[in-house]
Structure 1
Amino acid sequence: MNFLELTMYEVARLFLVPVLLIISGLFVFAFVSLGGFVVEVVQRRNVRRRAALCPLRQYLTRDDSHSGVSSESLQLKILQLLEPLRVTTRIAPMLGLVATMIPLAPALLALGDGDLAQVGENLVVAFAAVIIALIAASITFLILTVRRRWLLDALHTLEREGVV
C-alpha cells in the first residue's frame, strides 16, 4: 500500500470504536424509548386518561396567556418531540454500515494472508454492529410512526376544540 492508502486505512480504523459506542448508545436509547412507549400504550387503553397524556395539552397549560400558540407552533413542538426518534431511525443504519465496512478491510487482508481466525473475528464485529444498528432503527421507527399519528391526532383534536 502506498502512503495515501495506508493513511486512509488507519484513519478509518480510528472511527471503529467511536462508531461502535454510538451504535451501543442508540441501541440503549431505542430500548428505553420502547419501554416508555409500552407504558404509554398501556395508559392510552384507559380512554379517560388519553386526553391527559397528550404532550401538546401539557405544552398549552404551561403557557398561561395562550397568546402566540398556533397550529404552526404546535407542529414545531411535535417535530421537537419526535426529533430524537427520527435521528436515531436515520443515523443508526448508516452507522451500522460504517461499522460493517471498517472491519472488512482487515478481514480481507487476513484472508489474503490465509489467517481465517482473523477473518472470522472481523466479520463477527461487522455483522454484530449492523444487526444491532438495524434493530435500534426498527424499534425507533415503529415508535416514531405511532407517536407521530398520536400527536397529529391530538393536534387535530385541539384545532377542533378551538384551543388553537
Structure 2
Amino acid sequence: MLEAGFLQLAQWLLTPILVLLAAAFIYALWMAGMVAMEAWQRRANPAFSSLHLAPGMDFEELELFALRRLEPLRLLSRVTPMLGLIATMIPLGPALQGVASGQGNAALSVFSNAFAGVVLALAAAAIGLVLYSLRRRWLLAELLVIRKRLGAGQ
C-alpha cells in the first residue's frame, strides 16, 4: 500500500516538474539575453558598473546585494539537473514494467519523452552556469574597484 502511494505521488509530480523545467529553460534564455545586453554595455563603456554604493549603505550591504543578483543563476545551474533527473526517473518505472510485460514499443515512447526532460534540464543548467560565472566575475571586479575607492577615500 505504501509503495502504491509513493508511485501515485511520483506520477502526480511529473507535470509540475515538467512545467518547472520549461520555466527554467525560458528563464535561462531570458537571462542569456540580459547578460548579453550587459556585456554589450560593458564593452561600449569600460567604466560601466551595475553596483552603486548608495548613501547610508555600507560595503557589506553592497556585497549582499551582489549575492542576491547572483543567486537565481546559481540556483538555476544547481537545481535544474535534479529536476531533470526526477523528470526522467518518474516515467522509467512504468516503462520498465511495460518492457517486462512485452510492450517494448510503448516503453520506447516513454523513454524518449523521459530523456527529453533531462536534455532540457541540462541545457538550462549549462546556460545558467555560464551566465553565473560571467556575472560573478563582473560583480567581483566591481566590488574590488569600490573597495579600493573606499580605502583611498579614508
Give the TM-score of the pair, scaled to structure 2: 0.93
Aligned to 1:160: 148
Determine the C-alpha separation between the residues in 1 that align with 2:106 and 2:16. 21
The secondary structure found in structure 1 opposite 2:51 is helix
Aligned to 2:18: 20
Gaps of 5+ in 2: none
Aligned to 1:117: 105
Aligned to 1:129: 117
Determine the C-alpha separation between the residues in 2 that align with 1:84 and 1:10. 31
Shift of 1:50: 3.4
Aligned to 1:50: 46
Gaps of 5+ in 1: none
Runs of 4+ with >6 A deviation: none
Shift of 1:88: 0.8
Shift of 1:51: 2.7
Shift of 1:77: 0.5
- Segment drifting more, 93-102 vs 3-12: 3-12
Determine the C-alpha separation between the residues in 1 that align with 2:104 and 2:47. 59
Deviation by residue 1:92-129 (Cα, 9 ceiling, x = unmatched): 00101100100100110110111122211211121110
- 2:82 corresponds, among 78, 82, 94, to 94
Identical-residue share of aligned pairs (%)? 38
Deviation by residue 1:58-98 (Cα, 9 ceiling, x = unmatched): xx3xx3xx22x222111100111111111111110010110
Determine the C-alpha separation between the residues in 1 that align with 2:68 and 2:124. 20
Determine the C-alpha separation between the residues in 2 that align with 1:70 and 1:108. 58
